[in-house]
Each structure stands twice: as structure tokens, then as C-alpha cells.
Amino acid sequence: MEREVMTFDVLIVGAGPAGLASACRLKQLDPELNICVVEKGSEVGAHILSGAVIDPKALTELFPDWKERGAPLTLATERDEVVLLKDNRSSIKIPHWMAPKSMHNQGNYIASLANLTRWLGEQAEALGVEIFPSFSAADVLYDENMQVKGILTGDMGVGRDNMPKDNFMPGIELHAPFTLFAEGCRGHLGKELIRQFKLDQGKDPQHYGIGLKELWDIDPAKHQPGLVIHGSGWPLQGDTSGGFFLYHAENNQVAVGLIIDLNYSNPWLSPFDEFQQLKHHPLIAQYLEGGNRVSYGARAITKGGYNSLPKMNFPGGMLIGCDAGTLDFSRIKGAHTAMKSGMIAAEAVHHALKNNETDASTFEARYTQSWLYRELYKARNFGPALHKLGRWLGGAFNTLDQGLFNGKLPFTLHDLQEDHASLHRSSESKPITYPKPDGKLSFDKLSSVFLSNTNHEEDQPCHLQLSKEEIPLTVNIPLYDEPAQRYCPAGVYEVIDDDAGKKLQINAQNCLHCKTCDIKDPCQNIQWMPPEGGGGPNYPNM
Amino acid sequence: MKILVAVKRVIDYNAKVRVKADNSDVDLNNTKMAINPFCEIAVEEAIRLKEAGSADEVIVVSVGPKACQEQIRTALALGADRGIQIETDDIPESLNVAKLLAQVVKNEEPGLVLLGKQAIDSDNNQTGQMLSALLGMPQATFASELTLKDGKVQVAREIDGGSQTLSLSLPAVITADLRLNEPRYASLPNIMKAKRKPLTVTTPETLGVELKTHSTLIKVTPPVERSAGILVNSVDELVEKLKNQANVI
């Protein structure tokens, strides 16, 4: 098919913190540049979900006057608490000096990353960046030398049967000397590019977590704006690492969430139900009781950090932000590092454009001289220590490593097992029974998904593709009792057991675009593909 | 012939409507907004008439704060030719909107005025009817099919229990129902072009319309949540409960 072609100077896939920071930086360096950003969400910010306690470091470098420009960072963190939940009733507060230094939050802001992203979108548009929400990037386009020459936007108006409908609109080719891929964690094009250019050669496997979050309106009497609580322990069992957060944000709202590392081994584990159970702990329930849940969402997190960070530049483009994996897991913060990676990438791309080079090869040197490199290097042992030494010893190690040695210990811990390979057989694992939701503090999956405002055009091909149709029946159901029905936070995967036997049903319209299935499927059989542009969650204030 | 289409900026139909904690209004902070779906259908119909050669210009008009320019741009990206924003602090009630639109119609003299049958936020279903009355033009509401023939417009409209076909002389006011058409997607190149299409901003004062308030919003409350049902074991038990507990039979 002959497709329409449009050409830009720089093309950016994904209007998140990384993509928009690089767009703004490029325009600051050269206002003449023609920059196009495509975004699969229905608007900028629609697919952005984060805690979030935000370190304004990168933002201050990008827009030193962000306060005057009205950036939605207005609530400074007031107080940090780090706690360990011993069981369903009791907890221990970790004294400030014993908590890893990376868990201290002075100078940071409790904010909605979705709203910060909306604001970044406005700044970018004011600088003349063209942003196109509701347009997904379906494929990478290469030239005859296998250099990236752009992307193909997704077709619109294709029916479930793969046939064009009346309102069919074919995708178009967007070309540019440089394409920056900023899709966020486990971008489907990023995944292809890493394979295509062997960007992960010599690196540890990437590691991931799944984060679930809710926003609550709470009783003003219980609200302590600026209070940040982090913790771990119950209800997660000893061999599952993860942690929760509870942030007292503005307007009598709190953000509460749970992050579970996706290297968990028990296929009976359900991150969603662990999260629902967590909220019944008195430490958390004391704030939520009498409140109202207003929003729900989930997103996978790239957390391998320094050891797993792939090479980010390749001919004709770059991977930036969480698409590469720049999150600092020791601080559970990725917005400032994603933005910084985008800004450094912008500088490298600008240099390459000026010198007519096809690879932004100065990136590496710029990166290693930046605070981004120093921050990620310092945190390199944090995740592996927790995985290898466990919650107690690993936690103690991290306190010493981060606090006493400032991340300068002369060795590096590695975690070489891929997350999808960590599941044990269901028959060899202890089934977990979760209490029924009470409808006040805890809820079922479907009423939760409703609050994410997710929506997909119903008559379209299923965007969750199985490489081999038979795997659920031959492997996943018999060996693992199909873990997808539990790790999916949106109830997309359902095992139907009727007269004809068991089968896997995929309710793709519930999808929150979190990408967990693409990461955790033990056979790597599920491919997350972008649905029709504009589909997916519509997160306000997340 | 010119076609004038009115569009309204409303909460996106996918977004969950939330009420402010003090019940003063719906909370629209950082909520996805969109062009009212019925207005979008009206825009699509106008563009189709232009593509069929029945019209030479499609003008889109919206009333509201600056943000509603986004929805005008969306309509321009779909294929409308130019936009008019009537700047107001918030969205005035239907009669005011109709008076503002009536003035625009007098200035622009379109052969056809298309609107959505109602907006999905306030569900008033008034503006089209009021506009036709103010202008003394014939009206056809809830249109599901529209044909221009010999200087007249034939409209199939949805009524209770069937369909009614009307023939109207032009100029006329028509409001679009769901089945009139399925709007197209805006293409990326057209969205870019739409940014350069003319959009003029005017005010109620310039149009000589005084906005009046006829009603006050007192309170907004969310619907009462349905309580969980109970499983009964037999028909007898069901009947017993309906009779004595629910008091419905």
C-alpha cells in the first residue's frame, strides 16, 4: 500500500516526561527544528501514572522559572516515614537514620505526574512542538542500511476481522533523521529496537515491577499535606519483594499504591489482591476510612537501573526514559531521570544534526559526565541486594551502601535471572487465598478498572497477541494455572471453564496499557501491540 | 451555500463524571474534554454535504472560554473551513447560546444550520429548537438522514415508535441524532493544516447579545449507589421478600 509520508527534523514517540523534556530541550537549542510527537493516549497525560514524589532537579534545568510558569509542583514533602508492616495489625517505624538515604525526600514535591506531563505538553506546544495525541506508533521504519528512518502510525478504523471499516484511515509514514523512542516501560517498539540493534549486549537482564495506585478523597481531619510514607512487608510473603507508598497530596487527597517486583515466583500471587488487602492494614486504613476512592490504575516499572541499562543510541534514533530504563529504583523515582535522559539525548541529537551525523554517538560521553550517570551508578546494587539478600539483609545492606559508602563500594551485585523465568509451578507453590473485598477499603477488579476510564473501540483486532495460540492450553494453564488471570490488574485475561474445557479469554477492552503481560508471561507468548490510537486509560490527576 | 455548525466542549464520554466534594458542581479539573459527540456528527454531515458539492463552506462556531478553541480545531481537522469562538467565562445556558448563535447566523447568512440534538453534559436538548424559533426558520430535530434536493432539505427524523420524514425550505435548523453518520477520524496532516485555518474570536458584546441568567445551579449529587443484591433459594422466598421486605408487590 502506498502511504502518505510526512517528514520532520526529529520525531518523538510518546508524550511523557522523557519525550516532552527532549522536545522542549531541542526547541531551546534550535527553535527552527520541526519536531513531531506522537502519543497513543487520547490526550497528553491520559496514560501517565506515577506515585509521585518528584525531584525537581531536571525540571529546574529545563525551565529554571518553572514556578513562575505555573508547573503543578506546589506541595513540598514535609515529613518522611519508613515503616515495616509485620503482619496485618502491627508495624515498626524505621528510624530516620536507619532508612537508606535514598528514601529521604527533602526538597521533593508530592504531585501528579500526569498533570506535570500535561503542563510539559503546554510548554512544548508554546515552543512550537507539534504534539499529536491519539496517534500510536505501530512500527519502526528502516532504510536500506537498516538505519531507523521513522515510524508508521497505526491504522484507524480496522474491524475485529482485520478488514477496513467505513471510517478506515490508513496509518502514515513519519520520517525524520532522528527518532526518539520514549514509550515508557516496555515499549513495544523499544523492545524490537533492543533486539534489532543488540542494545542489551553485555548488560544484565532488565527487571520490572508492577505498580498499582489509587487516589482517594479523605476526611480533611485526617489529612496531613506533605506526609510521605514508604514501607514494605505485609501482605507480601517473604520471597516476594515490593513496597507500598502513601502520599498526602493536595486537596484532601492521598495517593496509595503498591509496587511488586515482577521476579516473584508464586504463580498464585495476585498483585491486585495484595494491594486491596494492604489497604486494610491499620496504618493505611486509618487515613482511608470514611474516604472515597476516585481513581485507579496500574503500570509496569522498568527497574533494572544501571546494570540493565541498554545502549541508548543507534543509527537514526535513541531510546530514552523508561523505554530504556533510567529509573532510579533506590529512590523509586523515575520522572527526573527520564527527563534528564531526554534532555541529554536532545543535546546529542542536536549536535549530530548540526554535523550531519546519523548516530547521536556523543550521547554516551554526555551521559557519563552527567548527574544521571552518577545517580544510577550509585544505586546499582539496591535492587539486586533486595533480590539476592532478601528484605532484611538486603535492606540493611542498602542502608550501609547508600548511607555510609554513598554507593561507592568496589563491587557490583548482579541479578541475572529474567523476570518471566522466575515462576514456580503452581503445583509446587502454596495457593494464596485473598479475602473478599469489603466495598469500603477494598474493591473488585472490574469496579476498579471502571475508575481508570479505560476504553477501546470494541470492533478492532485484539491488541494482545499470542505468538502461539495453544500455549495457554498446553503450558500456562496446566503448569502455572494461567498466571495472567492474576497478574493482570485489569481482568483482561480470564480462564473460562465450561463444558468444552478450559480456555483463555482475552478482554482486551479492559487493558490499562501496563505491559505486565508482555513482561511476565512465562513463555513470553503475549505480545502487547498498540490498539487503535486514543484507546486505553484516561487518567486524571494520576 | 454556507453551512454553519455549532459545537460544544463537553466532558469526554469515556471519562467518569465526578462530583466536587462540596456538591457545588461536576469536577472537571484535569478531566479529558472533547467535542460533544452529537455536534461531531453534525460537523461530519456538513463536511459530507460539502464533499458532495452541496455546500461551499463549512463554518464551525463554539461558545465558551479559550479552551473551546481545541474543539473548533478538531472540527477544522475533520474538514471544516473556518471557526468562530464566542468568548465567554463559562458555558451560558441554552437560551443565551441560541441568542448568540442567532446573531452569528444573521451575520453569516448560512443556507443550513446544523447542531447536535443535545449535549452529553447538560442533556438539555434546547438550543436547536430555541435557535430556530429566534430566527423564524423551519426546524427538524433528531435527524437520522438528510438530503438536499431542489432548494429543499428532506430530513428523516427519529420519533417514538418510528421515523418521520419532513421536507423543509432553506435556510433551516437541523439537529443531528446518533444514526445520521459515523464521523471520520482526523488525519495527522489534516490536524496540522487545521492549526493554520482561520479562527476568529468574538464576544457577546460585539454580537450585541446580553447574557442573562435564568436559573441557578444549587447542588449536584452523584446517583445513589446500588446496594448489593442477595441470592434467594426459592421462588417462594423471592415472593416473600418482594412482598414483605421490598414492599413492591
Tell me the mean pLDDT per 10 residues along chain B, length 249: 97 89 88 95 98 96 96 97 96 94 98 97 96 98 94 94 94 97 95 96 97 92 83 91 86
| Position B246 in a domain | no
Structural domain boundaries, residue B90: 2-221
- The predicted model scores a pTM of 0.93
**Angle between the N-to-C axes of helices B127-135 and B94-108, in degrees from 0 to 180, rounded to the nearest 10:** 50
**pLDDT in the model for residue A398:** 78
Task: Name the DSSP letter for residue A520.
Answer: H
The CB-side HSE value for A487 (13 A sphere, CA atoms) comes to 32
What residue in B sits closest to A38 (Cα-Cα)?
B188
**pLDDT in the model for residue B99:** 97
Q: How far apart are CA B46 and CA B50, in angstroms?
A: 6
Instruction: Give the total number of structural domains in chain B.
Output: 1
- List the 146-165 stretch of B: residues with Cβ below 8 A of A: none
Residue A121 Cα, gap to closest chain B Cα (Å)? 13
ipTM metric? 0.86
Residue B226 Cα, gap to closest chain A Cα (Å)? 12
Summarize pLDDT for A92-138 with one digit per residue, the tens: 998 887 888 888 888 999 999 999 999 999 999 999 999 999 999 99
- List the 180-219 stretch of B: residues with Cβ below 8 A of A: 182-185, 187-189, 191-192
| Position B153 in a domain | yes
Query: Residue A259 pLDDT > 90, yes or no?
Result: yes
**Angle between the N-to-C axes of helices B37-51 and B69-78, in degrees from 0 to 180, rounded to the nearest 10:** 40
Q: Point out the residue among A132, A153, A540 whose CB comes nearest to the CB of B30.
A: A540
Per the model's pLDDT, the better-predicted residue between A402 and A483 turns out to be: A483
| Position B226 in a domain | no
b/e code A245-282 from CB counts within 10 Å (16+ = b)? bbbbbeebbbbbbbbbbbbbebbbbbbbbbbbbbbbbe
* Residue with cell string 542500511: A145
Residues 6+ apart with CB under 8 A from A144: none
Quick one: cell of A393?
539483609
CB contact, 8 Å: A118 with chain B? yes
**pLDDT in the model for residue A400:** 74
Chain A residues near residue B29 by CB distance under 8 angstroms: 540-541
Residue B15 Cα, gap to closest chain A Cα (Å)? 5
What CATH number does residue B135 fall under? 3.40.50.620
| Position B136 in a domain | yes
Instruction: Give kind and range of the element (H or E) at residue A276.
Output: helix A271-278
DSSP state string for A209-246: EEEEEEEEE--GGG--TTEEEEEEETTS-TT--EEEEE
Judge: A167–B183 Cβ closer than 8 Å, yes or no.
yes
Question: Residue range A278-298: average pLDDT?
Answer: 96
Q: How far apart are CA A327 and CA A101, in angstroms?
A: 17
What chain A holds in terms of domains, given with CATH numbers, is 5-67+114-203+310-378 (3.50.50.60), 446-528 (3.30.70.20)
Pick the residue of B11, B14, B20, B180 with the most A CBs within 10 A to test the interface with A by mutation: B14
Which stretch of A14-23, A224-233, B23-32 has the lowest confidence by average pLDDT?
Answer: B23-32
Chain A residues near residue B185 by CB distance under 8 angstroms: 156-157, 167, 169
Quick one: cell of B53?
458539492
Judge: B191–A132 Cβ closer than 8 Å, yes or no.
yes
Per-residue pLDDT band for A414 (boundaries 50, 70, 90) equals confident
Question: Residue range A526-538: average pLDDT?
Answer: 96
Query: Residue A227 pLDDT > 90, yes or no?
Result: yes
Q: Point out the residue among A156, A252, A538 whose CB comes nearest to the CB of B12.
A: A538
| Position B211 in a domain | yes
* Residue with cell string 491520559: A46
Summarize pLDDT for A173-192 with one digit per residue, the tens: 999 999 999 999 999 999 99
What residue in B sits closest to A450 (Cα-Cα)?
B16
- List the 34-73 stretch of B: residues with Cβ below 8 A of A: none
CB contact, 8 Å: A34 with chain B? no
| Position B241 in a domain | no
Judge: A252–B21 Cβ closer than 8 Å, yes or no.
yes
SS3 at position A368: helix
